[in-house]
Amino acid sequence: MLETRVLIVGGGPAGSTIAWSLKRAGISSVILDKAHFPRDKVCAGWVTPAVMQELEIDVDQYAREHVLQPITAFRTGLMGQDPVQSEFLDDPVSFGIRRVEFDDFLLRRCGAELRLGEGLKSIRSEGNHWIVNDSIRASLLVGAGGHFCPVARFINDNKSPETAVVAQETEFHLSPEQRRRCPVLATTPELFFTPDLKGYGWVFRKGEYLNIGLGREDKHKLAGHVERFCSGLTEAGRIPADLPARFRGHAYLLYSHADRKLIDERVMLIGDAAGLAYPQSGEGIRPAVESALLAAEVIRHCGDDRSVDGLYPYLEEMEARFGTRQPGGGLIELLPMRFRQILASQLLKNQWLVKNLVVNRWFLHRQDQALKQHDPQPDLELQNPI
Ligand SMILES: Cc1cc2nc3c(=O)[nH]c(=O)nc-3n(C[C@H](O)[C@H](O)[C@H](O)COP(=O)(O)OP(=O)(O)OC[C@H]3O[C@@H](n4cnc5c(N)ncnc54)[C@H](O)[C@@H]3O)c2cc1C
C-alpha cells in the first residue's frame, strides 16, 4: 500500500500546481492520472502573463524549448460583422502555449510521486483515510481530474447536472505553403462571437501551429456551428480549405453557473473539477492554477483537521478571489435576447469598449493582479508523510 498525506487525482495544470506548491511547503503528494504524459488537452492554449508569474516560469527559458507565442493584439467581432483590432504596444498581454508541452513541463517539475496511466477506479473510507484503487492510502483527496473528475462526482452524488460550455477545437502544424497563405498573424488571435451570444469561435496561430475552435453554453448542434464558422473563415481566405486534423470536443463549467460542492470531509476540488472557468472568456488555466495555490495554502495551515470545518477557509478564499456564484444567471442574462444582441452588436463595433471591456477585462483579466505566493519555506511540523 502506497501511503501519502495528499492524493491528487489529475495531473493537469490544477493537479501539478497544487503538488508543486505543497512540495515547497515540505508536504509530499502523489498524483494519479489516467493518461501517460506528454498528453494533449483540448484547448486554445492562451495563458496570461499572470499565470506565468504565479507559476514562476521564466518565459525566455521556457521559450527556448517550447512553443511560446507572444500576443500583442486581438481582432474581435460578431460573426458576420467587421472585427475591431485592439493593439497593445507594451509587453505581450498574453501567450500561446501548446498543452501537450505545457502540462508535461508543469507535471515533470512539480515534485510529486507520479502514478501515470492509471485511472481512478475505487474510493473507500477507512478510519480517517481514503483507500484509492485498493493500493493508495491518503488522508486528503484532491479532485483535479478536469470537467469529468470522478472525485467531483463522488462528493456531488445527487446533484442535477449544471449547464456546461461545450467546445470543439483542432490544432495542427501548418505546411510551409499554408504558412505563406494564412493571413492570421501569430501575434493577433481572432475572436468572433456567435450572433445569439451563446459562445464564440477563435482562430489562433502559435508559431507554426494553427488552432481553430468554437465553444457555446448550449450543446445543441455544436458541430453545425463549428462547420458554419469554418466555412465563413475559409470563404474569407483566413484558414486553409484543407484542414488536415479532425475537431475534438470537451466541456467546462463557468464559475458563475456551477453550484457544486468544493469541499467535503477530507476532500477538496480544484480547477475544472470545481467548475471555475471565467464566465465571459472560458479561460480556465488561470483559475485552475489559482485554486490550486489557494488550496495548498489551506492544506498547509489546516494541520490534522481535514474536516469540512478545517477546509472551510478554502471556500472563503475562493469567494474572495472569484466572487459569489450566481447559478441562476446574472442581471444581463435576464435581458431579452434581441435586446442583448443589439447591445452586443453596438458594443463590438466600438474600438474603445472592445479594447478596454472585452479584451482587457473579460479576456485578459488585467484588472486582477497575479496571486501572491505565500512564504514558500517548508513547514517543518507538516513534513510527516501521512
Ligand atoms: C476547447 C477549449 C478551449 C480552451 N481554451 C482555453 C484557453 O485558451 N485558455 C485557458 O486558460 N483555458 C482554456 N480552456 C479551459 C482549460 O482547458 C481548462 O480550464 C484547464 O485545462 C483546467 O485544468 P485542470 O487541471 O483543472 O484540468 P485538465 O487540464 O482537464 O486535467 C485533468 C487531468 O485529470 C485526468 N483525469 C481525468 N479523469 C481521470 C480519472 N478518472 N482518473 C485519473 N485521472 C483522470 C486527465 O487525464 C487530465 O490529465 C479551454 C477549454 C476547452 C474545452
What the block records as the C-alpha cell of 308 is 469540512
Which ligand 1 atom minimizes the distance to the CA of 252?
53
What the block records as the C-alpha cell of 216 is 457555446
Residue nearest to ligand 1 atom 38, measured at CA = 145
Residue nearest to ligand 1 atom 21, measured at CA = 285
% pLDDT > 70, the chain? 94
Phi, psi of 306 (to 5 degrees): -105, 20
Listed in sequence order, the DSSP H helices in the chain are 13-24, 49-54, 59-65, 99-109, 150-155, 176-181, 222-235, 285-302, 308-322, 337-347, 351-353
Distance, in Å, from the CA atom of 275 to the CA atom of 145, rounded to the nearest integer, reads: 11
Longest CA pairwise span in the chain (Å): 64
Radius of gyration, alpha carbons of the chain: 21
Of the candidate ranges 17-26, 92-101, 158-167, the one whose mean pLDDT is the lowest: 158-167
Distance, in Å, from the CA atom of 157 to the CA atom of 382, rounded to the nearest integer, reads: 32
Residue nearest to ligand 1 atom 2, measured at CA = 43
Q: What is the pLDDT of residue 340?
A: 74
Please answer whether residues 32 and 158 qualify as being in contact, where contact means their C-beta atoms are separated by less than 8 angstroms: no
pLDDT > 80? residue 46: yes
Listed in sequence order, the DSSP H helices in 79-210 are 99-109, 150-155, 176-181
Q: What is the pLDDT of residue 335?
A: 65
Which helix (H) or strand (E) segment holds residue 203: the answer is strand 199-206
What the block records as the C-alpha cell of 202 is 477563435
Q: What is the pLDDT of residue 381?
A: 42
Q: What is the pLDDT of residue 343?
A: 78
pLDDT > 70? residue 58: yes
Which ligand 1 atom minimizes the distance to the CA of 41?
29
Distance, in Å, from the CA atom of 293 to the CA atom of 295, rounded to the nearest integer, reads: 5
Q: In angstroms, what is the span from residue 161 Cα to ligand 1's centroid?
A: 18
Q: In angstroms, what is the span from residue 339 Cα to ligand 1's centroid?
A: 34
383 — pLDDT class (breaks 50, 70, 90):
very low
What the block records as the C-alpha cell of 331 is 442581471
Task: Give the single-character DSSP code of 332.
Answer: G
Distance, in Å, from the CA atom of 386 to the CA atom of 382, rounded to the nearest integer, reads: 9
Please answer whether residues 130 and 138 qualify as being in contact, where contact means their C-beta atoms are separated by less than 8 angstroms: yes
Q: What is the pLDDT of residue 377?
A: 56
382 — pLDDT class (breaks 50, 70, 90):
very low
Alpha-carbon distances of 80 from 83, 92, 196, 216, 229, rounded to whole Å? 9, 28, 12, 17, 10
Please answer whether residues 295 and 270 qualify as being in contact, where contact means their C-beta atoms are separated by less than 8 angstroms: yes
Q: Which of 38, 65, 100, 68 is nearest to 207 (CA)?
A: 68
219 — pLDDT class (breaks 50, 70, 90):
confident
Which ligand 1 atom minimizes the distance to the CA of 287?
19
Q: What is the pLDDT of residue 90?
A: 78
Per-residue pLDDT tens over the stretch 301-357: 988 889 999 999 999 999 999 998 876 655 556 666 777 778 788 888 889 988 998
Q: What is the pLDDT of residue 62?
A: 98
Q: In angstroms, what is the span from residue 42 Cα to ligand 1's centroid?
A: 7
Q: Which residue has the higher pLDDT, 383 or 329?
A: 329
Q: In angstroms, what is the span from residue 75 Cα to ligand 1's centroid?
A: 26
Q: What is the pLDDT of residue 384?
A: 45
What the block records as the C-alpha cell of 107 is 507535471
State the amino acid at position 347 in one-letter form.
Answer: L
State the amino acid at position 93 in one-letter form.
Answer: V
Q: What is the pLDDT of residue 158?
A: 67
Of the candidate ranges 23-37, 281-295, 320-334, 345-359, the one whose mean pLDDT is the lowest: 320-334
Q: Please report where in the chains the cell 501551429 appears, as a residue.
A: 209
Please answer whether residues 341 and 260 qualify as being in contact, where contact means their C-beta atoms are separated by less than 8 angstroms: no
Q: Please report where in the chains the cell 518565459 appears, as a residue.
A: 59
Q: In angstroms, what is the span from residue 351 Cα to ligand 1's centroid?
A: 33
Alpha-carbon distances of 97 from 12, 70, 77, 79, 287, rounded to whole Å? 14, 9, 23, 26, 17
CATH superfamily placement of domain 2-72+90-162+254-331+377-382: FAD/NAD(P)-binding domain (3.50.50.60)
Domain edges within the chain: 2-72+90-162+254-331+377-382
Distance, in Å, from the CA atom of 304 to the CA atom of 217, rounded to the nearest integer, reads: 40
Distance, in Å, from the CA atom of 370 to the CA atom of 55, rounded to the nearest integer, reads: 10
Ligand 1 binding pocket, CB closer than 6 Å: 9-15, 32-35, 41-47, 119-120, 144-146, 148, 150, 167, 169, 213, 215, 250, 252, 271-273, 277, 282-286, 288
Which ligand 1 atom minimizes the distance to the CA of 37?
49
Arithmetic mean of pLDDT, 247-275: 93
Q: What is the pLDDT of residue 205?
A: 95
Distance, in Å, from the CA atom of 202 to the CA atom of 359, rounded to the nearest integer, reads: 13
Q: What is the pLDDT of residue 280?
A: 84
Q: What is the pLDDT of residue 346?
A: 83
Q: What is the pLDDT of residue 143?
A: 98
- The neighbouring-strand residues paired with 264 are 267
Q: What is the pLDDT of residue 28?
A: 94
pTM: 0.93
Q: What is the pLDDT of residue 162?
A: 83
Please answer whether residues 268 and 314 qualify as being in contact, where contact means their C-beta atoms are separated by less than 8 angstroms: yes
**55-69, 231-245, 246-260, 364-378 — most confident range:** 55-69
